[in-house]
Structure 1
Amino acid sequence: MKSKFILSALILSACVFQACKNTNRTSNDPDSLSTTMVDSAEMAKADSTGMHNIDTASFIQKAAIGGMMEVELGKLAQEKAKNSKVKEFGAMMVKDHTKVNEELKKLAQSSDVTLATSYPLKLKAQIEELKILTGDAFDKAYMKLMVEDHEKTIALFKNAAKSSDVNISKFAAKTLPSLEAHNKTAKGILASLK
């Protein structure tokens, strides 16, 4: 009886260990990414353990999807925004994130990571919601999304800047000041729209 209990405990432990090990794998399926950025549980785990070693493929995928969204929504803002500051912000997003996206493509190639070509369902829905809006409603919703998205992106890039992958940490550290400037500008524009 005692040996059956020990054997059962060992099997259960092995299953739990394997399940925990499998949860750290990265999927290249964009619909499996719940958001463009690192979720708060992942950030809390990284901060509490002192481990800031985000998976290279995960970072590249999340950053690429976020960058792709910034460019698409920037173009949309240039077309639909009523406020000239919102239009200018959209143009800046297209210009700056197109440049970052090109650098990210090179990083993905050197890291042997295949980039997603479509958005997760949640982001598709957000983009479609913005496309329906017009005038002041569009301006406010777009700028609110830009503040929220840049805050998540900054958290992702700060974490990646501490990665043991030298290429990831250099890229993230180099890109962070621009992201922080975008966020500051977005907050200012959003505040002026209220």
Structure 2
Amino acid sequence: MKANTITRFSTTTLALCGLFLLGSHSQAAEKDTLNSADVKFVKHEAAAGMAVVKLAGLSAQKASRADVKAFAEMLVTEHTKANEELTKLASTKGVELSAVIDPKHAETFQKLEKTESADFDKAFLAEMTSGHKKCVSNFEDAAKDSKDSDLKMWAEKMLPTLKTHLEQAKELASK
């Protein structure tokens, strides 16, 4: 009788341990759902988004034209929100993002920081036009080709805003 109780207890314990192991394994598998192309997109656009906020923050302080300053402030607000959304999405998908601005964007920041105010607006708008062209193209590809439905939906949601930013940058640059 005592042996029977111990056997049942041991079997129940083993079964529960197995369930816990399976449960934790399936949660880890659910978290890491992005393929390499999607991970590359997330990491690239997180870095680009962080750079836009930093460059636009500089422009909000340094631009000579009021319309360029207003554009820069809008970029800071909208890209900060987008960066927060992307960071949250990346976290749920098991993608770690760098908190450090990448060297290419840091170099651009330093170059703009040294640009005289007369040329600053033009240089900033050229950078925003070029960067947003690449960004729109990357987001169009992700919206079409991403294998992850959450990432695909987020890219689709962001496209109209990014296209608007591109058009605004072009319009301001033409003045």
What TM-score comes out, normalization by structure 1 length?
Answer: 0.70
Is residue 100 from structure 1 mapped to residue 82 from structure 2 by the alignment? yes
Contact 1:140 1:190 in 2 (8 A): yes
- The CA distance in 2 between the partners of 1:62 and 1:157, in whole Å, is 11
What corresponds to 1:156 in structure 2? 138
What corresponds to 1:117 in structure 2? 99
Number of residue pairs the alignment of both structures matches: 140
What corresponds to 1:175 in structure 2? 158
Is residue 188 from structure 1 mapped to residue 171 from structure 2 by the alignment? yes
Match of 1:146 among 128, 136, 140: 128
What corresponds to 2:23 in structure 1? none
What corresponds to 1:70 in structure 2? 52
What corresponds to 2:14 in structure 1? none
User: Shift of the alpha carbon at 1:119?
Assistant: 2.6
- The CA distance in 2 between the partners of 1:157 and 1:170, in whole Å, is 11
Question: For residue 189 of structure 1, what is the amino acid of its counterpart?
Answer: L
Larger relative helix fraction: 2
Indicate the SS of the match to 1:55: helix
Give the root-mean-square deviation of aligned CA atoms.
1.2
Match of 1:166 among 129, 144, 149: 149
* Structure 1 residues 164 and 189, CA gap change in structure 2 (3 angstroms): same
Alignment of 1:126-145 (within 5 A): 126-145=108-127
Contact 2:53 2:79 in 1 (8 A): yes
Unaligned runs of 5+ in 1: 1-52
Q: Which has the larger radius of gyration?
A: 2
- The CA distance in 2 between the partners of 1:178 and 1:141, in whole Å, is 22
Contact 2:53 2:75 in 1 (8 A): yes
- The CA distance in 1 between the partners of 2:163 and 2:36, in whole Å, is 20
Contact 2:60 2:73 in 1 (8 A): yes
Give CA deviations for 1:35-83 in whole Å, capped at 9, x if unaligned: xxxxxxxxxxxxxxxxxx8712111111111110111111101100001
Percent of aligned pairs sharing the same letter: 36
- The CA distance in 2 between the partners of 1:136 and 1:176, in whole Å, is 32
- The CA distance in 2 between the partners of 1:106 and 1:125, in whole Å, is 27
Q: Which runs of 4+ in 1 moved over 6 A?
A: none
